[in-house]
Amino acid sequence: ETGVTQTPRHLVMGMTNKKSLKCEQHLGHNAMYWYKQSAKKPLELMFVYSLEERVENNSVPSRFSPECPNSSHLFLHLHTLQPEDSALYLCASSQDFPAHYGYTFGSGTRLTVV
């Protein structure tokens, strides 16, 4: 256990479903991130939150909707997904400063869209 908990670990959903991924950290970090990891592709940074404000949104389709209600929790709401959205979704947290602070990752949610 790294201190960053992601639930569920596995999720199978139909293209018309609505589901949410949850990430929780109790490390006292003030920044949280969503990454998408697809087979044979680089890690894709999706969203960045710092002090609960969204500071980056890397051209992610609107069918992915993030929410950060407080510094310990991060959600990714999913609706009308496509099969190509099947991937491992990783959450990470960090401190903005000092600058050399690394990330702590959760174990990920393996999403399959059918």
Partner 1 sequence: AQSVAQPEDQVNVAEGNPLTVKCTYSVSGNPYLFWYVQYPNRGLQFLLKYITGDNLVKGSYGFEAEFNKSQTSFHLKKPSALVSDSALYFCAVRDGGGATNKLIFGTGTLLAVQP
The token pair that represents 95 in the structure block: 């401190």
Q: Which of 74, 90, 111, 113 binds partner 1 (CB under 8 A)?
A: 90
Whether 111 contacts 50, CB under 8 Å: no
Half-sphere exposure of 59 (CA within 13 A, CB side): 1
Q: Which of 2, 7, 38, 112 binds partner 1 (CB under 8 A)?
A: 2
Whether 68 contacts 74, CB under 8 Å: yes
Is 10 or 16 the residue whose CB approaches partner 1 more closely? 10
Query: By rule CB under 8 A, what string of x and - marks binding of each residue 45-84 to partner 1?
Result: x--x-x----xx----------------------------
Whether 11 contacts 112, CB under 8 Å: yes
Whether 27 contacts 3, CB under 8 Å: yes
User: Least Å distance between CB 39 and partner 1?
Assistant: 11
Give, as ranges, the residues between 6 and 35 that touch partner 1 (CB under 8 A).
6, 31
Per the DSSP assignment, residues forming a β-bridge with 4 are 25
Q: Considering the rule CB under 8 A, would residue 101 count as an interface residue with partner 1?
A: yes
Contacts with partner 1, residue ranges (CB under 8 A): 2, 4, 6, 31, 42-43, 45, 48, 50, 55-56, 88, 90, 92, 94-97, 99-108, 110
